[in-house]
Structure 1
Amino acid sequence: MAGLRLPMIPTHSLPSDSLPSGEDLLALERQCRRSGSGITMASLIGTWRLRATWSRDGTPAPAASAALLRGLGACLILSGEETDGALRIANQVNLGSLRLRFDGEAELTGRRPLLMFSFRSVRLSLGTLTLFERGLPQPDARRMPFFALIGLDREQGRLSARGRGGGLALWMR
């Protein structure tokens, strides 16, 4: 925690010289719960590459798991217009020119905020050729997946969040 410094959007930040620890994210999360994160829809627009994950208690995920996700180019893509308040969300991994992509809709709620989302379709493609595409059933409103957004550091291009399952994640722009 000694490496934790302020501010981030608008008042939180993570160490810039290396990846934060699970303890850093837990401290940032406690601060976010008290005062909110200040993250807006406009600040989320872009492609976020998964950089690291931790368990719910801040323990680092197995190195092989994190390396595999980074190697597959796991990313979160958010796009949309602030005027209509809707976000489009995509989550994808790539193995060479083979791509598995989930597409759907998302919205920000609350001051922390939560990024609530649901995927509407899944597609497997090889280059520009679609091999498989299918619609997905919508989850019950009480079981919607979400990311509780913890912090966004524009300077470092880092987004941290806790998922519905409890794990922590760090993405880089």
Structure 2
Amino acid sequence: MSASASPEISARELLQLEQQARRSGSGVEADALQGCWQLQLVWPKGQQRASAFSGWLLRGLSARLEIGLDPEGLLLSNAVNLGAVELRFRGRGRLEGKRPLLLFSFEQLQLSLGGWRIVERTLPAPAPQRMPFFALIHRDPSGWLAARGRGGGLALWRLADHAAAVANMTATAP
């Protein structure tokens, strides 16, 4: 499968990869996470089928997770677009444990229209026990990433243009 194609993987296969990651870790390291990850599929908690509507909607909104590295650690940006309107959350993250968990906290909310930032707000830090995370299941060399979120759903992303995402992350680090 090419990085530009949607990965063909079932919930069953993801669950098998997840069991393996729980037993012996996924081996995913920070360097392998760098880039722009476009959300492709989501499986609600406890479901064996991807939510067709949620996947369609999130792809239509260009939902993406951009990850970069700087000397202080991981830079994260989560964004969606509706035409010229962009909603973006920026913050920092870190990997923890052998699985590992990608723990993160968004520090800024930004709303832009046609490249002009019209709203920028600082966000309060979550309590340590309520910090959002993704339990990283698998990072495939062909360009996809699977993880389970704090809410229990599964997500599958496809790697997009790495260079553009890294430039965007480092130019506007929180």
Once residues 171 and 21 of structure 1 are traced to their aligned partners in structure 2, the CA distance between those partners, rounded to angstroms, is 14
1:134–1:44 Cα change, 3 Å: same
1:53 is the counterpart of 2:42: yes
Give the counterpart letter for 2:88 in structure 1: R
Return the structure number with greater helix share.
Answer: 2
1:17–1:158 Cα change, 3 Å: closer
1:35 is the counterpart of 2:35: no
Q: Is 2:105–2:125's contact at 8 Å kept on the other side of the alignment?
A: yes
Once residues 147 and 44 of structure 1 are traced to their aligned partners in structure 2, the CA distance between those partners, rounded to angstroms, is 12
Once residues 18 and 86 of structure 1 are traced to their aligned partners in structure 2, the CA distance between those partners, rounded to angstroms, is 29
Higher relative contact order (CA 8 A, sep 6+): 2
Aligned to 1:165: 151
1:18-57 deviations in Å (ceiling 9; x for gaps): 5211111111000111111111000101000000000222
Aligned to 1:110: 97
1:99–1:17 Cα change, 3 Å: closer
1:130 is the counterpart of 2:117: yes
Q: Is 1:48–1:171's contact at 8 Å kept on the other side of the alignment?
A: yes
Aligned to 1:99: 86
Once residues 111 and 171 of structure 1 are traced to their aligned partners in structure 2, the CA distance between those partners, rounded to angstroms, is 21
1:57-109 deviations in Å (ceiling 9; x for gaps): 2422431221000000000000013xx35100000001122100000000001
RMSD: 1.5
Instruction: List alignment gaps of at least 5 residues for structure 2.
Output: 160-174
1:97–1:114 Cα change, 3 Å: same
Once residues 43 and 37 of structure 1 are traced to their aligned partners in structure 2, the CA distance between those partners, rounded to angstroms, is 12
Q: Is 1:161–1:168's contact at 8 Å kept on the other side of the alignment?
A: yes
- Identity in percent: 50
Deviation at 1:17, TM superposition (A): 8.9
Once residues 18 and 142 of structure 1 are traced to their aligned partners in structure 2, the CA distance between those partners, rounded to angstroms, is 33
Once residues 164 and 49 of structure 1 are traced to their aligned partners in structure 2, the CA distance between those partners, rounded to angstroms, is 19
- When the two structures are superposed, what TM-score results if normalisation uses the length of structure 2? 0.85
- When the two structures are superposed, what TM-score results if normalisation uses the length of structure 1? 0.85
Once residues 27 and 85 of structure 1 are traced to their aligned partners in structure 2, the CA distance between those partners, rounded to angstroms, is 34
- Once superposed, which parts of structure 1, at least 4 consecutive aligned residues long, lie more than 4 Å away? none
Aligned to 2:168: none
Once residues 121 and 17 of structure 1 are traced to their aligned partners in structure 2, the CA distance between those partners, rounded to angstroms, is 30
Give the counterpart letter for 1:135 in structure 2: T
